[in-house]
Amino acid sequence: MAARAARTMMTSACAAIALGFSAAPANADEPTLPAAPKKVYSIEKIGKLMTNVHDGTRLLASCQADKGGTCTISRTFSVTRTIGVALGVSRSFVSGELNMSSARTVEVRAACTSRAFTSNNQIYKAYPSGTRQWYKVVEKYYVGGKLKRTTKSVPLQAFNPQGVSCLMRTK
């Protein structure tokens, strides 16, 4: 009878460990199983959400005209939504924490006409514009219900395209 009770207790304890549960003792003589180690992730924003930011690293289109002339950029572009990830978190986790879509691309429309060119050394360029948020991924590691370690990623950014900015530049 005692062997059967011990076997039942071991089976329950192993099942609790495998499932990550902490089994409460049936009586004061039984040991309590420690809580399974777990990792909890969060996002730590760095600064405020920046709006109306253009991404000067991603030229969408350009046009030129002679001095005194104008040019137009009128087109729809498929632009990549940038979401940085680290420490094993998913793109959808980060986008959810930042309240943005996790879709990789977004369609944006350009409808820009330049002012009159003042020289032949100018070019009119279209860039994606939208919001940018800098952040860090934070991982908290718990053992036995107690915080053992906190790890933070390097600064990451998310860029959410919402339109197109057209700018006059020098060649």
Q: Compute φ and ψ for 75, nearest 5 degrees.
A: -170, 160
106 and 165 share a domain? yes
Residues 30 and 45 in one domain: no
Query: Are residues 98 and 60 located together in one domain of the fold?
Result: yes
Residue 59's CB: how many other CB atoms inside 10 A? 12
Confidence (pLDDT) at 34: 74
pLDDT at 155: 98
Domain span holding position 4: 1-34
Same domain, 30 and 109: no
Q: Compute the distance between CA of residue 100 and CA of residue 4 in angstroms, rounded to an integer.
A: 55
Same domain for 10 and 55? no
The radius of gyration of the chain from alpha carbons, rounded to an integer in Å, stands at 28
Give me the number of domains the chain comprises.
2
Q: Which two tokens stand for residue 9?
A: 């207790």
Query: Both 52 and 129 in a single domain?
Result: yes
Together in a domain, 88 and 153: yes
Residues 65 and 30 in one domain: no
pLDDT, one tens digit per residue, over 55-68 is 999 999 999 999 99
Q: Note the pLDDT tens digit of each residue in 68-124.
A: 999 999 999 999 999 999 999 999 999 999 999 999 999 999 999 999 999 999 999
> Could you report how far apart the first and last alpha carbons of the chain are, in Å?
90
Give per-residue pLDDT as tens, 139-165: 999 999 999 999 999 999 999 999 999
Asked if residue 62 and residue 49 are part of one domain, the reply reads yes
How do residues 9-55 score in pLDDT, each as one tens digit? 444 444 444 444 444 555 666 777 777 899 999 999 999 999 999 99
pLDDT at 7 over 70: no
Instruction: Tell me the C-alpha distance between 142 and 90, whole Å.
Output: 20
Residues 29 and 52 in one domain: no
